[in-house]
Structure 1
């Protein structure tokens, strides 16, 4: 059993926590959508490590340190679900990904240790995920909102 991850945008921590109350703790992303919520389901893509690898690839080797900084803003219990907010620098990095960069990023990210458990993924396999995450980040940036990650066991 893995951890589930949904990413969404909200104006601030209070709005994100209100959403948790409205939806009984999640999940945030539903197959048929959730009215008024801009969210994507990213199954095993955790913010710190796996998404952090993508952020590091976009920023390049000159950037040192933790590529993604996140902070817990809500938890329902010790065993989840949990809600974290990602730093705006991460949002902006993801929002900056262009269509021209996506194929190479997909190939490189698919070779990362976090994703290539049984060997490298096909070069284009992560392309839809990159496109979804980048588009969500652009919408968040353009609306002056923040990115949140809901996770649950």
Structure 2
């Protein structure tokens, strides 16, 4: 069973939770977008492990469970969906990724078991994903917004 993950930016927790009410629990990222919502769909890239490993690579640190500080701020119940607030240090780390770093990060990230599923991904396959998440983080940082992840099984 895969995890659906939409990453988006919002001014604060209240705005992110309000979005859940507006969207009847989500999803947040949809084809064609939603007016006023800056969101990306990153199926299978949950924040704790998969995104955490990318953050670790950028920071030059080994992955650990506390690498990304996250808080559950809304839940649709035991079966989900869930809304997770990510710490601003994660936002800033993702925003700091440069075009020069991206190829190496893509190659390394494509080797983790959560993404490779037995065989490493081609070195450049995750470049678009890295570009999307880092661009979202830069827009959030520039606006003084925070990053959130909507997850569902």
Q: Gaps (5+ residues) in structure 2?
A: none
Matching of residue 12 in structure 1 with residue 3 in structure 2: no
Q: 1:115 aligns to what SS in structure 2?
A: helix
Provide, for residues 27-50 of structure 1, a one-character-per-residue CA deviation record: whole Å limited to 9, x for no partner.
000011111000000000000000
Cα distance in structure 2, aligned partners of 1:48 and 1:64: 9
Q: Normalised by the size of structure 1, how large is the TM-score? A: 0.96
Residues 116-127 of structure 1: matches in 2 within 5 Å? Answer: 116-127=116-127
Query: How far does residue 55 in structure 1 lie from its aligned partner after superposition?
Result: 0.1
- Higher relative helix content: 2
What is the aligned partner in structure 2 of residue 66 from structure 1? Answer: 66
What is the aligned partner in structure 1 of residue 40 from structure 2? Answer: 40
What is the aligned partner in structure 2 of residue 78 from structure 1? Answer: 78
Cα distance in structure 1, aligned partners of 2:21 and 2:61: 40
Provide, for residues 47-79 of structure 1, a one-character-per-residue CA deviation record: whole Å limited to 9, x for no partner.
000000000000003897722111000011111
What is the aligned partner in structure 2 of residue 114 from structure 1? Answer: 114
Cα distance in structure 2, aligned partners of 1:40 and 1:61: 26
RMSD over aligned CA atoms reads 1.4
Q: Normalised by the size of structure 2, how large is the TM-score? A: 0.96
What is the aligned partner in structure 1 of residue 151 from structure 2? Answer: 151
Count of aligned positions: 153
What is the aligned partner in structure 1 of residue 87 from structure 2? Answer: 87
Query: How far does residue 112 in structure 1 lie from its aligned partner after superposition?
Result: 1.2
Provide, for residues 100-148 of structure 1, a one-character-per-residue CA deviation record: whole Å limited to 9, x for no partner.
0000100000011221112100000110000000000000011011000
